[in-house]
Amino acid sequence: MGCCGSKEAKAPANGGPVGHVAAAPQSGYSGNAHAVPARAHQPLPPPPIPQPAPVVSGNEDNLYLALYDYAARAEDDLTFKKGDKLLVLNQSDGDWWQAQLVSSGQKGFIPSNYVAKMQSIQAEDWFHGRIKRQDAEKVLLLCGQHGSFLIRESESKPGDYSLSVKEGDAVKHYHIRRMDDGSYFIARRIAFSTLAELVQHYKVAADGLCVALREPCKQTDVPDTVGLSHSTKDHWEISRETIRLLRKLGSGQFGEVWEGIWNGTTNVAVKTLKAGSMEPSEFLKEAAVMKKLRHPKLIQLFAVCTDQMPFYIITELMKNGSLLDYLHDKGRALRLPQLIDMAAQIASGMAYLELQNFIHRDLAARNVLVGENNVCKVGDFGLSRLVENENEYTAKEGAKFPIKWTAPEAAMMNRFSIKSDVWSFGVLLTELVTYGRVPYPGMTNAEVLQQVERGYRMPAPPGTPESLYQIMLDCWKANPEERPRFEALQWRLEDFFVNTDSYTEANNVS
């Protein structure tokens, strides 16, 4: 940081001492051959005895294995590496646990979703927990070689599991069922006391599977933490001094968006709120509601800075920016299956808002953020509203809305509901399949309002499957109550390419 005023002293050319250094005493004998040694050689001290690693004792039930690397973000956090063993000391906070590293004895807080109990199936590389069949196929096709596999919890049969295996360019699924004695089997003729034993058996030979199991498909997506750290989870008004703005990413109706860093450790997105764009009390009320919204497909609100203008809204940072920009650039290489998967992710986030009686009011590709591996999250809650007791929200007169994405009852009468968000989602689908084309090409906002009111609907974009266009038309029904729920849209999109023959039942395995 800056220049240092002092300069290094230069050693003389002959290698002599620098500055005024006392001459070293002569070792050995003096110049007189008959002189007595000035000082006898002393034996060297013994080398230090290696100190054993600190012994951390505790109940084995509280021993956990780190599934991911974690670098401490705050002073009371604990840094650890994947594979480290930790003794959990306090689990009273479900999201952040107090723990101790077995190797060093260091203590601190850790995100609870980064660890799993020792000897549990959650600690196995091949176990992926409660993920959908479509997600299993996606990760196997991305990560795997022939014979790559994972085990997940069964969607349709709670308590059972499914084995997903990559065979060439396809993925096969096998139900893992349980006997009355608790053992596991794929084929009834052979059962195993643990899932680990089952995996080991099918690694040795296929024994009726499509291929012998090879390397497990490991989880690469690091889970989100709840909040920035334990210290900020419930204290979300943070000091402005802890935020450093790095790079401006964009600007909009309510302010600017920056890439920033919190506490010198954690990359974040920072939204600055323009003075006069919203009453401070109204902003704080809505931010408090937004902080409670937690879903894997929603951008997480971490904290706010409201001590002075401009207000800061601190959220998670997504690597690839807005979906709209992504579709214009790297996303042009995406094909229909990937685009449908992204649509399903967005519908999943909106289904959660639907369940929470929350309406977005500005759902569009520009307000969806994209991370690694095409992970999509709904963001920009600048126009969002919690709907209490009623199913719709009436906007203030003079409020501005993006006409081409707005449902007719909202654009004409300022009446917003989750069903008007469904209309916007149908428009977003056209953005996806056209790689970010502006909706209603060649039409002005006034023409769109007039034509939609008369029953006009956008034609199917070129190359759009009829079944996908039907989903768009369902979203654009004139009567809001006839539009589908986001929950239904989610499963329709998730099942869009499902191969009903992809499961191999146990009795088909010889």
Domain annotation for the chain: domains and CATH numbers: 60-121 (2.30.30.40), 125-204 (3.30.505.10), 231-316 (3.30.200.20), 321-495 (1.10.510.10)
CB 484 within 8 A of CB 422: yes
> What is the value of pTM for the model shown?
0.79
Of the candidates 362, 380, 495, 501, the residue annotated as catalytic is 362
Could you tell me if 352 and 298 are in contact, meaning their C-beta atoms sit under 8 angstroms apart?
A: yes
Residue 135 annotated to the active site: no
Report the distance separating Cα 319 and Cα 302, nearest Å: 17
Coil vs helix vs strand at 257: strand
Residue 45's pLDDT is 62
Q: Is the peptide bond before 484 cis (omega within 30 degrees of 0)?
A: no
pLDDT band for 245, please (50, 70, 90 cuts).
very high
To the question of whether residue 218 is assigned a binding role by annotation, the answer is no
Distance CA 105, CA 295 (A): 34
| Residues β-bridged to residue 255 | 273
| Helix, strand, coil percentages, rounded to 5, for the chain | 25, 20, 50
Answer for the pair 403, 448: CB distance below 8 angstroms, yes or no: yes
Q: What is the pLDDT of residue 481?
A: 96
> Is the pLDDT score of 237 beyond 90?
no
What is the reported pLDDT for 233?
82
Element (H, E) at 361: none
User: Given a cut of 70, is residue 50 above it in pLDDT?
Assistant: no
Among residues 329, 346, 369, the alpha carbon closest in space to that of 424 is found at 346
Condensed to tens digits (0 to 9), the pLDDT of residues 351-365 reads 999 999 889 989 999
pLDDT tens digit sequence for 88-123: 999 998 999 999 999 999 999 999 999 999 999 999
CA torsion sign, 351 to 352 to 354 to 358? negative
pLDDT at 288 over 60: yes
Residue 245 neighbours by CB distance under 10 Å: 13
pLDDT for 156? 78
What is the rounded CA–CA span in Å between residue 161 and residue 126?
12
